[in-house]
């Protein structure tokens, strides 16, 4: 199956998951996780209706963003872990950064955004499974990081992101998605803010994530096929 058929299938699954949970499919951003994908495949996905693309590595993303700069309605998100020394490039090129997970990175992103006269939209990445190999702030340190980042004049926190542990049975991911939604709701209550986004769910479990409140689903394999 080609990219266009894949996208149609995913849109159908999104619709069904929304129906099941009483949500509007218009509220879901289908973000193509395009790391290691060549520009031609990104253009193909774009022609199939996708306008949001997520890159894991800053350098690789910049090349694609510059190559495709004539496509003015493409939105570029950074979805991979971010090293502090790459923050200035991330702020310059990416609309939304999904991977804020420490105070030093909040400092650097804020400083770089200030220099560019930009308010940088960010999500805080939470390590919901508390796995040593994964990025993200631990759930018990989330409130402290949120409060710290909230005070930064040039950062706007739009919500939370997570990559739960991988399970063959996607139902096992559900409690992790539900817990991220609860963390978001608790922060909204406590700080009197609105956090519109939950970035969660990937190719094998995005329907479950939508049922639990995801607004951004990050899909690679189901769009582009298996990586070589």
Which domains can be identified in the chain, with CATH numbers?
Answer: 3-224 (3.20.20.10)
Q: Are 88 and 58 in contact (CB under 8 A)?
A: no
* Closest alpha carbon to 169 in 217, 124, 205: 205
User: What is residue 99's three-state secondary structure?
Assistant: strand
Q: Residues 60-98: pLDDT tens digits?
A: 999 999 999 999 999 999 999 999 999 999 999 999 999
Query: Percent of the chain beyond pLDDT 70?
Result: 100
Return d(Cα 148, Cα 151) in angstroms, integer: 6
Q: For residue 139, is pLDDT > 80?
A: yes
What Å distances lie between residue 190 and 2, 121, 162, CA to CA? 46, 21, 21
Confidence of residue 228 (pLDDT cuts 50, 70, 90): low
pLDDT tens for 8-60 read 999 999 999 999 999 999 999 999 999 999 999 999 999 999 999 999 999 99
**pLDDT value at 227 more than 80:** no
Name, in order, each residue with C-beta under 8 angstroms of 220's C-beta and a sequence gap of 6 or more.
32, 33, 34, 35, 37, 202, 203, 227
Q: pTM here?
A: 0.97
pLDDT of 145 reads 98
Residue 65 burial class via C-beta count within 10 angstroms: exposed 0-12, middle 13-18, buried 19 and up = middle
User: Structure tokens of 205?
Assistant: 């479990």
């Amino acid at each position: 199956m080609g990219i266009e058929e894949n996208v149609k299938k995913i849109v159908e699954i999104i619709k069904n998951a929304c129906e099941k949970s009483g949500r509007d499919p218009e509220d879901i951003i289908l973000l193509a996780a395009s790391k290691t994908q060549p520009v031609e495949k990104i253009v193909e996905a774009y022609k199939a209706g996708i306008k949001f693309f997520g890159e894991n590595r800053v350098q690789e993303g910049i090349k694609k963003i510059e190559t495709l700069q004539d496509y003015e309605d493409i939105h570029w998100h950074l979805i991979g872990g971010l090293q502090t020394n790459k923050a200035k490039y991330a702020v310059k090129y990416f609309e939304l950064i999904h991977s804020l997970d420490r105070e030093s990175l909040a400092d650097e992103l804020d400083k770089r955004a200030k220099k560019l006269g930009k308010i940088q939209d960010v999500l805080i990445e939470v390590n919901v499974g508390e796995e040593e190999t994964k990025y993200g702030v631990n759930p018990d340190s989330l409130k402290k990081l949120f409060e710290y980042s909230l005070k930064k004049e040039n950062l706007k926190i739009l919500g939370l992101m997570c990559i739960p542990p991988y399970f063959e049975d996607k139902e096992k991911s559900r409690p992790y998605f539900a817990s991220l939604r609860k963390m978001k709701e608790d922060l909204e209550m406590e700080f009197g803010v609105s956090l519109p986004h939950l970035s969660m769910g990937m190719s094998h479990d995005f329907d479950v994530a939508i049922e639990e409140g995801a607004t951004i689903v990050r899909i690679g394999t189901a769009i582009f096929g298996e990586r070589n």
